[in-house]
Structure 1
């Protein structure tokens, strides 16, 4: 497994990469790739870190597991590649965004513009076997991404952590809530969006918290892509 992350992240995480659990995880993922199709492609596994260097992290949006259908996952939680139909959770995110911020719903689900503005968009598990949801859970990724949460929580300046759904909300224990803002609600998936995601106004709450911290607000409008 190639580890391609910016230098400032590497400085914080190099000890993790040397730990036995991570060596075991690397062997597991390499073994899976040798036998099965695994998403995202190897060069995209650490995309969240590439788009949002440690120094730039102002918001941390935590997902759970990469999309497991063809050509969807590219290393940012909730985001899909250009030309791929947005999955149901992302459709609901865009509906809430329209209500909350008046943004038009884009013709794509490629959320890189958010990551490039300082939103670390990280799944708790960074790989998955094709068409088998959660197939790479409990192999070490969670240990790694829990450490990423702790490292971001150690930042001196305030960060906004966005925890949607029960799985993400359990990670609040890793966050210094005396210094950072936590915005939590139901998950945007069709199963739970009507039970507390719709109407939760997460995007305006994030910008409000960024304003209060003296940081630039997020421009939430995802541009349309040319066909």
Structure 2
């Protein structure tokens, strides 16, 4: 006699991980293709085009990792999302490390996540606390930083991809020359771009930013924020640098809904 009761609910089937080929990464086809298909702004083409071979190699490496069972984050089409902000309209550069390794969090903008992500990433929560202290801006309940991006804040990670659950896993994949080229283009801008360097990892890039005013402190991570990030007033410093160079300040207040 079978005494087992039928299940009231069936557990959802596990979703298979996406398995990418090199061609699934838009940058595999080069900078001109990226711009013509709306993945980056047109004025970044001359910066990235000399690195087409590097980008193609990265796409091939990511495909091999994916086919070996790694979950690659973020989605290929948003890995270079930060460069949708035109070079000519960039006013502030905030340097992050690598994308969030939690599935569903990374969205191509450093420190940001999609609007529905909860709880807030811990470093971003500390950024909001310091923003509130610095400029009396209410802390946003969400991690969507796209309004900053739209005003000219380039939220640039030093690495554009990561394996799920493995922070820092793609640091040696080959992204460094891409990031250095982006910084070099910003450093050549006539109107100076304000560089925000939080933590030693970001501050190692300062030699590439000789023409850019710097705002720096320890990283907003919970491990270090109390040792100099809180009280550093980065947002008022950024706006002061912008106004000193004749540029409009950033409105750092984010929508609450």
Which TM-score applies when normalising by structure 2?
0.83
For residues 1-227 of structure 1, the aligned pairs below 5 Å read 1-3=25-27, 4-18=39-53, 21-34=54-67, 35-50=69-84, 52-85=85-118, 86-176=120-210, 179-225=211-257
RMSD: 1.1
In our comparison, the structure showing a higher alpha carbon Rg is: 2
- Alpha-carbon distance in 2 for matches of 1:5, 1:44: 10
The size of the alignment, in residue pairs, is 220
Unpaired runs of 5+ in structure 1?
none
Deviation at 1:142, TM superposition (A): 1.5
Report which structure shows greater RCO (CA 8 Å, sep ≥6). 1
SS state at 2:183 partner: helix
Deviates more, 1:59-68 or 1:151-160: 151-160
Unpaired runs of 5+ in structure 2?
1-24, 28-38
